Amino acid sequence: MKGLVIKMNELDLIEKKDLRDEYISRIEVLEKVKQLLLLPDINLATRQQVANFYEIGESTVRMIELRHRDEIDLDGFKVFKINDFKERTDCTSLKITNGQGTFEIQFSDNTKCKYPYNGVALYTPRAILRIGMLLRDSNVAKEVRTQLLNIEEKSTMSQRIESITEEQELVLKVIYAKDDIERANATSALLSYKNKCIDSLENKVEALAEGNLTWEPREAVNRMVRLIAYYKFNNRFAKAWDKVGAEMLYAHNIGITRRKMESGLKSPTIFDVITDDEMKLLVQSCVSLCEMYQIDINDLMIKNAG
């Protein structure tokens, strides 16, 4: 996966849904490219605001929305009617007034907006980012895609360089060995390093997935997600779980979000929608993310003395 990220170009995001799902949590790039104006209090954008951000016509946004509605719905896009505004517990400051054919929303900053009773289409930042990954003829969207790839490439290259540097040092020791004994020892160290890199991830996954350690697989997953949330997303657990879901989709073609939508359960967790056989893949995804983010999970590797 790391090698693929480096080789990608921004057009791949337009053509490949699995790649869009991989990058969808990177909403911070929107502000890196251009100021994003959202409705006060609710942090959502109208279709016109999305069009203004990408410097395109509103009809173009509507076209993308219709073609990819299944994706955008999962990102939180919704047509808000008057009751949707009333039911938002995080919007107690809104003042809603009924009118003839329309209702008026007054936000906490005294901004007033009128919407028809059949509703107004509102986009979450994730949905706005999705639009940007799908737009072909918008310079702003192109810059958004470029920023997405730049962020991931810098992160991945940093990890690759650190790993390559250690390997290069071992190779140099083989090349510049003073005699056969020193060369044999250096070669052995190099082979040991390579084998360790290959086996490390596999061994961790096997141990955690089989529950042979102090943590059961489910506990291990929860623990790793907490670490990812803490070190990578400022304790935003939803972001960490989104990343795990994206990894499951990208690496194993398992769509966690869609399964949750189709489960019929009120508030399903990831554990509700995977099979026992897929638990190992879930553990593998979490371990891979911890490895990628250089998060130490050695405490999970301590074997149960009992």
Instruction: Give per-residue pLDDT as tens, 172-228.
Output: 676 566 788 887 887 787 777 766 665 555 666 666 666 665 567 888 899 889 999
Instruction: Give domain limits for the chain.
Output: 13-148, 200-301
Question: What six digits make up the tokens of 192?
Answer: 């040991």
Position 235 scores a pLDDT of: 85
Position 18 scores a pLDDT of: 83
Higher-pLDDT residue of 88, 258: 258
Prediction pTM value: 0.51
As a whole number, mean pLDDT of residues 64-71 equals 92
Nearest to 131 by CA among 14, 211, 31, 43: 14
As a whole number, mean pLDDT of residues 114-137 equals 93
Position 56 scores a pLDDT of: 95
Residue 94 has phi, psi (to 5 degrees) of: -70, 140
Residue 120 pLDDT exceeds 80: yes
Residue 165 pLDDT exceeds 60: no
